[in-house]
Structure 1
Amino acid sequence: MASNKVKQIHEFGQSIWLDFIDRKIINTGELKKLVEEDGVRGVTSNPAIFEKAISSSADYDADISALSKGDKTNEEIFFGLAVSDIKLACDLLRPVYDEAPKGGDGYVSLEVSPFLALNTEGTIKQAIELWKAVDKENVMIKIPGTEPGLPAIRKAISEGININVTLLFGLDRYEAVTEAYISGLEERAAKGLPVSNIASVASFFLSRIDVVVDPLLDEKGLGELKGEVAIASAKKAYEIYKRVFSTDRWKKLAEKGAVPQRLLWASTSSKNPAFKDTKYVEALIGPDTVDTIPLETLEAYRDHGDPASRLEDDLDGATEVLAKIKAAGIDIDAITKQLEDEGIDKFNKPFEKLLQAIEDQKSKVN
């Protein structure tokens, strides 16, 4: 068994992806080192990550100056910068992508504009544009799993685009996402097009659920369940995953070479200082899943993680946790809808800040 604790997770069938990107981590060789030494097998990005990268360093100033000489909008300039970074990361992770089975990992995710979270047609158009702009087999385009995002996910999959479905909090919506994925593959197969070269993940956000639910548990006298609702929800999502991807309907696609849309655990850093900083990572290690973690959580896990397959431990207990909060009058569906709305806002605000930072940089050089 590997001695590196992060690398050991892979031995339980889970892939660790890094939830961070910037030019520095690529150019200094740090990302390459994380791939080689920690077994990192993919990279995810989002508007907040890019905002921090672009606003907090001078690494992008020359490119912003060059891109601002034409008539590009600030959003077009941003995607010019982002596509450049994503291409570099895709090249760096290509050897992972080429490992057998080819296309199992090695993906880098780039998100459509958060302003399009509720715009089906706009999302489809931009997903296709970004896919063509990056032009790498191992890129994934991130589309929010909002209700208007569902038809966009289906369409993008039918076009042969790798999709990372982001911003998932609720079990019903997660199941609807699996339906969009399978329908998109069926649509593609019906046209006689290959389905064996398409990959997708469904990103289930965790710790944010507990941030909202835990104070309500105290009010209801269920304090012993604090920090457990998100994990219980994830375990139930995994049950859905196993059911959906073992049906006769799915088997017909699998015979054509289609691969299941893996569950990806996101928002896995502990927000509550009372919890162990590796709590969400440890609880949900299990086969055929992905966990995307920020650099600080990865470093913490490397130092004091406890790798073991726990995802399917005490599934009855997970069912009981969700039954108890329902009986106490806590409406998890309303909470997951609230979290989705807040999640859109959490990406819109840094994106607005990012566009303003580009505008400020442009004014310095013009």
Structure 2
Amino acid sequence: MGKLNDLANAGQAIWLDFVARDFLNDGGLKKLIDEDAVTGVTSNPTIFQQAMGEGTAYDTSLAAYDKAHPGAPAIDRYEHLAIEDIKAAADTLRAVYDRLGAKDGYVSLEVSPYVANDTDATIAEAKKLWAAVDRPNLMIKIPGTPAGVPAIAATIAAGINVNVTLLFSQQSYQAVALAYADGLEQRVARGEPIDQIASVASFFVSRIDSKIDKKIEDGTGGEAGKALAGKVAIANAKLAYAWYQEFIASDRWQALAAKGAQPQRLLWASTGVKNPDYPDTLYVDTLIGPDTVNTMPPKTMDAFRERGTARATLTDDLDGARHVLAEAERLGLDLDGVTATLVEEGVASFSKSFDELLGSIAAKHPAEA
């Protein structure tokens, strides 16, 4: 029983932010489930681009698909490969899902970043991917863009689990939390069950500090600004969780909970440290609390296993967190502007990875079937 198990004992689920064919086939995920209490997996276009765009692990499967579907477009070929991986991960996690009564054991698959600003297209793609994977422990990842918010409500109302991604601001998070409740309420109004539906809100952390710290390095805020380096993202996340605690105590949520609704857990994403001057477990150590998830890339998971500190920290010094954000505003660090930019950059980055992924698949010379 190591430190990752201690996180689970503190009420925080550990998910792996990585997926690849060889890793799944070699039992890597099963090992993390058995030894480190990992209970979920996240993927995104960048992860798939890195997995599929290099090496030969996918060539045999791609060749067989191409033989059965000659001339298929690259996006169909990608979806075939991705769905195979997601099904395999879901099947590996199914025992966790069953043991925890649908409260965990999920794997996430993202809608195309090309539809991030199109509500109807997002809903349609979510339904298509949900049907194609056909596993109850799948979550469809939908970005928390303005167009994504009504898509989240509609997708939940359709009985599909949702991982809301690319959340950076407290305001955006609150909007998707309310959208989740709205989707559940639509089901209740139709007399449909809500106790097997799950959602997480993926709140990104390290990218905020990267932006804010750059502003500080460039002189914004002067000497006073230097005291905020490496602190704004954590303060932002802590106050998002404080709002979550208030919301689940509200009459609106309690009415849903009485009908079996699961809370939409906050998931800390982008928890790999970008600044080498910071401890490599910074965004794990400081954000530990009940009913949360931390999805970690393998490197961060290894670091925490070796030298992390598993202690409930998420509700520590909320007044200090409020002070940090108040100072950031006073000094002109423009957190609102930073978070808006990060959403745009996130969508653009995933679109670029998707372009590269489809290009590499289109260019592949499939192995003989």
Q: Any conservation in 1 of the 2:63–2:366 contact (CA below 8 Å)?
A: no
Aligned to 2:169: 170
CA–CA distance in structure 1, aligned partners of residues 300 and 94 of structure 2: 24
Deviation (angstroms), 1:194: 0.5
Residues 67-216 of structure 1 aligned to structure 2 (within 5 Å): 67-69=65-67, 70=69, 71-100=71-100, 102-216=101-215
Shift of 1:72: 2.4
Query: After TM superposition, which residue ranges in structure 1, 4 or more long, deviate above 6 angstroms?
Result: 363-366
- 1:181 deviates by 0.3
Distance 1:115 1:236, change over 3 A: same
Residue 296 of structure 2 aligns with an amino acid whose one-letter code is I
Picking from 244, 247, 268, the partner of 2:247 is: 244
C-alpha offsets along residues 57-83 of structure 1, whole Å, 9 cap, x if unaligned? 201112222223424221111111111
Q: Return the offset for 1:257.
A: 0.5
Alignment of 1:309-348 (within 5 A): 309-348=312-351
Residue number among 266, 269, 284 corresponding to 1:266 in the alignment: 269
Q: 1:14 aligns with which of 12, 24, 27?
A: 12
Tell me the distance in 2 between the aligned counterparts of 1:272 and 1:351.
26
Matches within 5 A, 1:348-359: 348-359=351-362
The answer on 1:277 being equivalent to 2:280 is yes
Q: Tell me the alpha carbon deviations over residues 37-72 of structure 1, each in whole angstroms, 9 at most, x when there is no partner.
A: 111110000000001110122011122222234242
Q: CA deviation at 1:144?
A: 0.3
- 1:238-293: CA deviations, max 9, x gaps? 01111111111111111110011000000000000000011101100111100000
Deviations 1:88-130 (A, max 9, x none): 1111011111113x01211000001111111111110010010
- Compute the RMSD of aligned alpha carbons: 1.3
Segment of structure 1 superposing worse, 186-195 or 68-77: 68-77
Residue of 45, 50, 54 corresponding to 1:52? 50
> % of aligned pairs identical?
50
1:61 to 55, 59, 76: 59
| CA distance in 2: counterparts of 1:24 and 1:41, whole angstroms | 19
8 Å contact kept, 2:197–2:261: yes
CA contact (8 A) 2:62 2:366 kept: no
Show structure 2 runs of 5+ residues with no match: none
Q: Does 1:229 align with 2:232?
A: yes
Describe the SS at the equivalent of 1:194: coil
Letter of the structure 1 residue corresponding to residue 176 of structure 2: V
Shift of 1:329: 1.7
Three-state SS of the structure 2 residue aligned to 1:311 is: coil
Q: State yes or no: 1:296 paired with 2:299.
A: yes
| 1:68–1:362 CA contact under 8 A, matched in 2 | no
| Secondary structure of 1:225's aligned partner | coil
TM-score, with length taken from structure 1:
0.97
Counterpart contact for 2:208–2:232, Cα < 8 Å = yes
Tell me the amino acid that sits aligned with residue 44 of structure 1.
T
Deviates more, 1:214-223 or 1:168-177: 214-223
- Report the 3-state secondary structure (helix = DSSP H, G, I; strand = E; otherwise coil) of the residue aligned with 1:118: coil
Aligned equivalents of 1:341, 1:68: Cα separation in 2: 35
Maintained 8 Å contact 2:111/2:142: yes
